[in-house]
Structure 1
Amino acid sequence: MTNYKLNSKNLSKLTKQVAIPQYDRSNVKTGIVHVGIGGFHRSHEAYYTDQLLHDESITEWGICGIALLDFDSKIYNTLKEQDGLYTLIVKELDGSLTKGVIGSIVDYMFAPENPSKVIEKMASADVKIITLTITEGGYNYSEATGEFDFNNPLIEFDLKNPQAPKTIFGYLTQALKLRKERGLAGFTIQSCDNIQGNGHMTKKMLMSYIKKAQPELAPWILSNVSFPNSMVDRITPATSQSDIIQLQETSEIDDAWPVVCEPFKQWVIEDDFIAGRPAWETVGAQFVEDVVPYEKMKLSLLNAGHSVLGILGALIGYNTIDESVHNKAIRTFLNSYMDKEVTPILGDLEGIDLYKYKQSLLQRFGNIYIKDQIDRICSESSAKIPIFILPTVNTQLQEGGSIEYAAFVIAAWAIYSIGIDEKGEPLLIKDVLETILKEKALVAKNDPASFLEVESVFGKLKDSKKFVDAYLNAYGNILKYGVEECIIRMNDKVLNNI
C-alpha cells in the first residue's frame, strides 16, 4: 500500500480517500491571522473557514497561522512541510470516521524565529481579523486582583524589548502601532478561548498593557479596534499515534499531525467586526447581539463538566473522559452538580432547552471513540477552575445556594495536585503553577485549608466559612473513603453524616 505524504503536490491523488479542498488555494489571500494553531483552532475556526472558501468567489479570508511559543515549533514545522494542509477526522458516535483535508491555512509563521515578520503580517492592510486560541492562561489575568499581571517575566521582557516580543500583547501592540503610523485601518481581535466575555477580557487585558507600553496609542485603538465576544464548542482531544496510523491504514495519507474531533460543533459570535468579516453564518456559525449568556452556559456546564470528570476520574485512575462519565456514580454526581449548582444561576436562555443540552453533554462526554485524555483536560487547571467553576461558586455563595458539589471537586483537585492517584500511580500534571500547587497540596495533607491560599487561583474564597467548611468536609472524606465511595454516599445524600 502506498501512503501519500500530505502536501499540495499530492492533494489530487487523495480524492478517492478523503474530501479535499475544491478551491484554488493559490488564489486565497490572508485576511485572518490566527495565533495558536493547535488542535482546537484546526477543528473549529479553520474548519468553518475552509467550508466558506469552497465558494470560489471568496478569496480574501485565508488564514495565516502563528505559532507563538518556543514549544510550538513542532506544529509549525508540520504545517510548513504539509503546505498548511492537515486532515480533520470526525469520530462519529457510531464509530465511523468522516475525513477531510482542510486547506484554509494558507500561510504559517514561527514567531520566535522572526518576530518582526509576524508583526508586519499583522500590520498588513489585507489582514482584517486577528483571532486567538492562546488558552485561558494566555490572557495574563490575576484571579486575585482581576487585573493584568505586570509581574509576569514575559510581560516585563516585552515592555523592555518591544520589537522582539514574546507575548500576544507585545505583538498586537506593535502591529497596531504600525497600522496607525501608516494610516491604515484597525482590525478586529476575536478571542476563540473558553473565557466568559472573552472579547471583553481581551480588550481589558490588551488596553492595560498598552496604557503602560504605548499609552499614546490607546485612544486610537478604542476607535479603530473591535473585540467581539464569542462562544466556541467542539471537543477536540489530543491526536494520538494510533490516530496517525489509522489514517495511514484507512486512507493512505501520511499526515504527521491530523486533528480528531467530535461531530458536534457550535460557534456563537457577536456581530462586531470593525473591518469586515467572513460570512461564517452560511456554514453554520450563529451571529447574535449578546453572546455572554450562551458563553456562561457553555463554560459552566461543558467546560466545568470536563474538569469535574477529569479531576475525579484522574484520582480513581482513569485515563480518558469517556471512562469517567461511564462510571455511574461520577455521572450521577455530575448531573447533580449541573442541576443543583449551575442551572439555578443561568437564568433564561432564548432558544435553549437546558435539560436537552445537559443530556447532550453526557452523550458527548461518553463518546467512546473520542478517547479524550484526562491529563489534557486537567492540564492548566489553575487557569481553568477560576473560569469554569469558581464563578458558579461565588454566585451561589452570594445567593445562599448549594456549593457542596463544587467544594468536593476543589478538595479532589487539592489531593490530585499531590501528584499520586488512589492506586499509588503518578499523575501527569501540566500546569504553570505546578510547583506552587504541589507545595500547597503537600502542606494541605496536615492543614487542608492551606490549599485555598493560592490567591491567584481562589481569590478570597478562603474567607468564606460556608465554602471552607464544605471543602474541609469533602477533603477529609476523600482521604478516608476514596473518591468513588464518597460520591456514592453523596449521591445517596448521606455524605454529611459519615
Structure 2
Amino acid sequence: MVTPRLHPSLLPQLPSAVIRPLYDRAALRPGIVHLGVGAFQRAHLGVINEAAVVDTNDMSWGMVGVSLRRADTRDALQPQAGLYTVAVRDADEKGQPRELLQVIGNLLEVLVAPENPGAVLERLASVDTRIISLTVTEKGYCHDPATLALRWQDPDITHDLAHPLQPRSAIGMLVRGLALRHARGLAPVTLLSLDNLPANGCTLRGLVLAFAHRVAPALAEWIARDCTFPNSMVDRIVPRTTDEDRARTSERLGLEDAWPVLAEPFLEWVVEDRFAAGRPAWQAGGARFVERAEPYELLKLRMVNGTHSALSYLGVMAGWPTVDVAVAQPALRGYLLRLMTEEIEPTLPALPGLDVAAYRERLLARYANPALQHQTRQIAMDGSQKLPQRLLGSVRQRLASGGSIRLLALALAAWLHHLQGVDEAGRKFEIQDPQAAALADALALAHAAVTSAEPTLAAQQRTAAFCHGVPLFGELAASPVFVNAVARHWQRLSEDGVAATLGAL
C-alpha cells in the first residue's frame, strides 16, 4: 500500500499530537524571500515565522524559498505544497529519546535559481516582498573571511558581473534584484543574514554595496540610504536528515514527508530591530529584538561555533562519529570546558544578566543530546571559511592581551591534523571545503619545507610554512608564539593521537 504524501488537503488526518497550521494558507502572501532554503532555515526562521503568523494572523508574511544550486529541496517539497515537518528531539530524565512533530505551513513556494534566475529576480522585485533573508553558509558570500572583502576573482562573481540577467551567486542575485526594484520605483527592503558571520548584516551590506558600485553608483547610493541590513545571531543545532529520519517521521505522521528536518529544542535568535518595510511579530517565536547584536554574535561564534569546530576536528580524527559520542569522552568534555572558561570567555564583551557558568553547562548539555546524532564530519566542513570568526578572533585578542592560547591552538592544530584526510584508524575521508585544493597544496609544501631532523624544530618549520601558505592566518603566520603553540599540538596529534593529546592537557 502506498502512503499518501503530506499535503494541505490531508492535514486533518494527522495524529492529534502533531502540531499543524490551522490558519488559511490560501490567504498567505509572500512577504519574505529567503535565499538558501536548507535545513537550518526551515528549522529556525521557518519555525519562528510560523509562530508569528499563528499569533497575529497577519497573512502578509508568507515565505518563498530560493535554492541557489540544486533542485532537490524544490522537488521534495513541491508535491507537498511547501509543507514540511520539524522533528524536535531530545531525551527525557531517564535518557530515553523523545520527539515532538510540527508541520510548518508558511513556506509557499521553492524556486531553483539555475533553472530560472529571472523568476527569482522577479520575486525579489515584487511589490509584496519586504524582507530578503539568507542562509547560504559562510562560503556562499564569495568573500575573503579574513578581510571580509568580496573576492572579485570568484567565478560566480565574475559571471554575475558579465551576465546581469542570469546571476549565480547570492550577492549577484541580491544586487540584480535590488536593481529591478530601484528601476521600478518600488519600496526599499530589509536584507537579513542568518549566517554565522561576524557582524553578518554589516558584512552583507559591504559586499552588496561593493558589487552594486560596479553595476551602477546610483543603485549603490539608494541601497546604502534606504535599505537596511540588521545584524543577527542565530542558534539551533540542526543535523542532516537521513533516510531513517524520513521513514520515522513519515510513519509517525501517517503521511510521507519527503524532506523533514530535525532540531534540538533550544532555539535562539537575537536581531537588531532595523527593518525598512516592517517585519513579522517574530517575538512570538522567541526572537529577541535589540539595538546591537554584536555582543550576542561574539558569544555565539566563539563559545558555540568555536567549541563545535574544536570538537568536530578532534572527533573526526579520533573516530567519534557524533557530537554526543565525542562530548561523552571525559577528556574532551574537560578540554571544551577549559577552552571556554580560560581562553574564550576573557575575549567576550560584557552581557549584563548572562550567567556564563550556566551558559557553559547548558551548551555542553546540548552537545550531549543523544537524539540528534549530529555528525562530526558535517560540522568539520568548510573550515577555511569558519575558523577566522570561530577561533582566530579569540586567538588575536588573547595574543594582544598577553594571554595563553594553548587551548585555542589545539583546536587549530586539530584542523591541520584533519586535513590529511585519514583518521587514526586509517579510514580515508574527503576534505569538504571550497579551498580544498589550495589547502592540499599548502599542506604538501609545508611537509616539503621541513629541513630539520629534530622533531620539535621540524614541527615548527612545517607549521610556519603552512600558515604562510594559507591567507586566512594573515599576520598570525609571522607570530612565533602562535606558530609554536600550534606546532606543539600538531606534532603531538600526529605522533600520539587525539586521546593522548587530550590526556596530556
Q: Counterpart of 1:54 in structure 2: which amino acid?
A: V
* Structure 1 residue 180 displacement after superposition: 1.4
* Structure 1 residue 118 displacement after superposition: 0.5
Q: 2:268 aligns with which of 266, 269, 286?
A: 266
TM-score, L = length of structure 1: 0.95
Tell me the residue number matched to 1:322: 324
Tell me the residue number matched to 1:63: 63
Give distance in 2, aligned partners of 1:456 and 1:215: 31
Give distance in 2, aligned partners of 1:464 and 1:453: 11
Give distance in 1, aligned partners of 2:290 and 2:228: 15
Name the SS for the 1:409 alignment partner.
helix
* Structure 1 residue 99 displacement after superposition: 0.3
Name the SS for the 1:460 alignment partner.
helix
Give distance in 2, aligned partners of 1:305 and 1:56: 38
Tell me the residue number matched to 1:357: 359
Give distance in 2, aligned partners of 1:374 and 1:176: 38
Contact 2:15 2:253 in 1 (8 A): no
Tell me the residue number matched to 1:402: 404
Q: Counterpart of 2:418 in structure 1: which amino acid?
A: Y
Q: 1:465 aligns with which of 471, 480, 483?
A: 480
Contact 2:47 2:285 in 1 (8 A): no
Give distance in 2, aligned partners of 1:305 and 1:418: 21
Give distance in 1, aligned partners of 2:373 and 2:483: 34
Tell me the residue number matched to 2:296: 294
Give distance in 1, aligned partners of 2:20 and 2:217: 47
Contact 1:444 1:451 in 2 (8 A): yes
TM-score, L = length of structure 2: 0.94
Contact 1:144 1:460 in 2 (8 A): no
Tell me the residue number matched to 2:87: 89
For residues 221-256 of structure 1, the C-alpha deviation after alignment (integer angstroms, 9 at most, x for no partner) is 111100000110110000111111211333323111
* Structure 1 residue 417 displacement after superposition: 0.5
The residue correspondences of 1:273-288 to structure 2 (distance < 5 A) are 273-288=275-290
CA gap of 1:15–1:251, structure 2 versus 1, over 3 A, is closer
* Structure 1 residue 132 displacement after superposition: 0.4
CA RMSD of aligned residues (A): 1.4
* Structure 1 residue 436 displacement after superposition: 1.8
Give distance in 2, aligned partners of 1:141 and 1:397: 26
Q: Counterpart of 2:185 in structure 1: which amino acid?
A: G
Tell me the residue number matched to 1:487: 502
Tell me the residue number matched to 1:389: 391
Give distance in 1, aligned partners of 2:112 and 2:403: 48
CA gap of 1:457–1:81, structure 2 versus 1, over 3 A, is farther
Give distance in 1, aligned partners of 2:68 and 2:159: 15
For residues 115-155 of structure 1, the C-alpha deviation after alignment (integer angstroms, 9 at most, x for no partner) is 11110100011100000001011122214544211010110
Give distance in 1, aligned partners of 2:8 and 2:430: 38
* Structure 1 residue 214 displacement after superposition: 2.4
Tell me the residue number matched to 1:76: 74
Q: 1:141 aligns with which of 143, 147, 156?
A: 143
Contact 1:415 1:441 in 2 (8 A): no
Name the SS for the 2:161 alignment partner.
helix
Name the SS for the 1:5 alignment partner.
coil
Tell me the residue number matched to 2:22: 22
1:150 aligns with 2:152: yes
* Ranges in structure 2 where 5+ consecutive residues have no aligned partner: 451-461
Give distance in 2, aligned partners of 1:298 and 1:56: 30
* Structure 1 residue 347 displacement after superposition: 2.9
For residues 93-112 of structure 1, the C-alpha deviation after alignment (integer angstroms, 9 at most, x for no partner) is 32110001000101221111
CA gap of 1:402–1:310, structure 2 versus 1, over 3 A, is same
Give distance in 1, aligned partners of 2:79 and 2:203: 35
Give distance in 1, aligned partners of 2:146 and 2:306: 20
The residue correspondences of 1:160-179 to structure 2 (distance < 5 A) are 160-179=162-181
Give distance in 2, aligned partners of 1:89 and 1:354: 29
Tell me the residue number matched to 2:228: 226
Name the SS for the 1:220 alignment partner.
helix
* Ranges in structure 1 where 5+ consecutive residues have no aligned partner: 491-498
1:308 aligns with 2:310: yes
Name the SS for the 1:432 alignment partner.
coil
Tell me the residue number matched to 1:105: 107
Contact 1:66 1:110 in 2 (8 A): yes
Q: 1:437 aligns with which of 406, 425, 439?
A: 439
Tell me the residue number matched to 2:468: 453
Name the SS for the 2:129 alignment partner.
coil
* Structure 1 residue 381 displacement after superposition: 1.1
Tell me the residue number matched to 1:255: 257
Contact 1:143 1:459 in 2 (8 A): no
Name the SS for the 2:66 alignment partner.
strand
Give distance in 1, aligned partners of 2:162 and 2:285: 43
Contact 2:73 2:110 in 1 (8 A): no
Contact 1:143 1:386 in 2 (8 A): yes
Which has the larger displacement, 59-68 or 274-283? 274-283
Tell me the residue number matched to 2:453: none
Contact 1:89 1:97 in 2 (8 A): yes
Contact 1:299 1:388 in 2 (8 A): yes
Give distance in 2, aligned partners of 1:468 and 1:483: 20
Give distance in 2, aligned partners of 1:238 and 1:146: 28
Contact 1:23 1:56 in 2 (8 A): no
For residues 386-429 of structure 1, the C-alpha deviation after alignment (integer angstroms, 9 at most, x for no partner) is 12111101111111111111211211211210100011111242
1:197 aligns with 2:216: no
Tell me the residue number matched to 1:496: none
Tell me the residue number matched to 2:39: 39
Give distance in 1, aligned partners of 2:350 and 2:250: 47
Give distance in 2, aligned partners of 1:308 and 1:38: 24
Name the SS for the 2:71 alignment partner.
helix
Which has the larger displacement, 160-169 or 214-223? 214-223
Tell me the residue number matched to 2:454: none
* Structure 1 residue 176 displacement after superposition: 1.2
* Structure 1 residue 309 displacement after superposition: 0.7
* Structure 1 residue 448 displacement after superposition: 3.2
Structure 1 vs Structure 2: percent identity of aligned residues? 37
Name the SS for the 2:123 alignment partner.
helix
CA gap of 1:145–1:194, structure 2 versus 1, over 3 A, is closer
CA gap of 1:62–1:26, structure 2 versus 1, over 3 A, is same
Contact 1:313 1:374 in 2 (8 A): yes
Contact 2:32 2:133 in 1 (8 A): yes
Give distance in 2, aligned partners of 1:442 and 1:219: 46
Give distance in 1, aligned partners of 2:271 and 2:241: 27
Contact 2:310 2:412 in 1 (8 A): no
CA gap of 1:174–1:390, structure 2 versus 1, over 3 A, is same
CA gap of 1:454–1:363, structure 2 versus 1, over 3 A, is farther
The residue correspondences of 1:340-355 to structure 2 (distance < 5 A) are 340-355=342-357
Name the SS for the 1:124 alignment partner.
coil
Name the SS for the 1:212 alignment partner.
helix
Q: Counterpart of 1:353 in structure 2: which amino acid?
A: D
Size of the aligned set, in residue pairs, is 488
